[in-house]
Amino acid sequence: MNPKIIIAGSYNGVIVAKGPVIPGVGETYLGDTFFTGPGGKGANQAVAASLQGADVSFLCKLGKDSYGDDAVKLLKQYGGLEGESIRRVDDAHTGVALIFVDGAGNNSIMVVPGANLTLTAEEIVSEVKTTKNVFMVGFQLECDVGQMCEAMIRLHAEGVKTLLDPAPAAALPMEVYPAIDIIKPNEHEAEILTGVHITTPEEAYRAGDILIGRGVKTAIITLGAKGTVIVTADEKAFVPARIVDAKDTTGAGDVFSGSFLAALSKGYPLKEAVQYANCAASISVQRLGVFEAAPAEEETLALYHSSRC
Ligand code: ATP
Ligand code: RIB
């Protein structure tokens, strides 16, 4: 049995409209595709990791509404995720995300977190303490940022490893950085955190160095179709993205994070885990949705072994 990954974070009911362009302020366009489904950065990452054969618990908060009822069903259906860590609250709605996708697969997202904001550091720390054989705890920022930072600091003090996907980007207190073992921003998030404008791997290396200087052990910065950089105190590496026909990049970063965590928990070294996650994310961007698009272990392994991507 692989060691346990705990993902603490968001679930959102998702409403997607796909059309030729993403509307700007005051603009209206006719779209061509509409669907609703599950999402949220935490849920996407937990499902992606579980599909990769990792042993995953998802700790989240849902409202007692129809989106919450759907969440319970869909987390089980797609990721085999269930149990007491999936909690319902009376006083908030289930998180929702309204997503526009354009013809090139780019997206723009508005999240209303609702019940996600009620997840506390205390709940996360006690979930970890009552779980055996925890390998790493994954965080994102669609919940209360202060509570997530407190949880990482408390877990780090207990010797528990953490991964932060700092999305959506938010200013973080300096004292949280040393409590982050792995940070995985995309280029926009890395720019907000570090002030380095990133369009090239070299610029991403500079941003990575700043994050390492603040106390993070490993920075993985994804640049979408341009690839991914890895920065530690001793090493810098670049992994190119696979050339594919992207239909919907929504949640590509989540599939990357979940698959990366899964690969690490199965013993892959850092660069190989990034290459593995790169394969999984490249499969997911060729499909619509995230739960529905995240690949299983077998499909990812076939691509990974056919070419280290
Ligand atoms: P999201 O916020 O929607 O979850 P993100 O912006 O965090 O996504 P990206 O940096 O766009 O994440 O992409 C994450 C990974 O997904 C990339 O490192 C790459 O492996 C893969 N990927 C994304 N877009 C493409 C693409 N167009 N072609 C191939 N691979 C892609
Ligand atoms: O990263 C993509 C996710 O962000 C979507 O599933 C949506 O729920 C938003 O939270």
Per-residue pLDDT tens digits for 246-280: 988 889 999 999 999 999 999 999 999 999 999 99
233 C-alpha to ligand 2 centroid (Å): 31
Q: Tell me the average pLDDT across 20-31.
A: 95
For residue 308, what pLDDT band results from cuts at 50, 70 and 90? low
| Digit-coded pLDDT (tens) for 175-189 | 999 999 999 999 999
Q: Which of 2, 51, 79, 6 is nearest to 300 (CA)?
A: 51
Nearest CA residue ID for atom 11, ligand 1: 224
Choosing from 98, 106, 111 the residue with most ligand 2 atoms within 8 A of its CB, the one to mutate for a pocket test is 111
Q: Which helix (H) or strand (E) holds 301?
A: helix 297-306
pTM: 0.95
Percentage of the chain modeled with pLDDT above 90 = 94
Residue ranges lining ligand 2, Cβ < 6 Å: 12, 14, 39-41, 44, 97, 109, 111, 142, 250-251, 253-254, 290
Nearest CA residue ID for atom 17, ligand 1: 224
Residue 229: beta bridge partners?
Answer: 221, 238
Q: What would the DSSP string read from start to end of 27-82? A: -----SEEEEEEE-HHHHHHHHHHHTT-EEEEEEEEESSHHHHHHHHHHHHHH---
> Residue 57: which residues within 8 A CB-CB, separation 6 or more?
4, 5, 6, 7, 46, 81, 83, 85, 127, 131
Does residue 41 carry a pLDDT above 80? yes
Residue with tokens 């949640």: 251
Contact 124, 179 (CB under 8 A): no
CA distances from 64 to 35, 87, 92, 292 (A): 22, 10, 8, 24
What pLDDT does residue 307 have? 77
222 C-alpha to ligand 1 centroid (Å): 7
Whether 70 is a known active-site residue: answer no
CATH fit for domain 4-307, picks 1.10.1740.10, 3.40.1190.20, 3.10.450.50, 3.40.1710.10:
3.40.1190.20
Does residue 99 carry a pLDDT above 70? yes
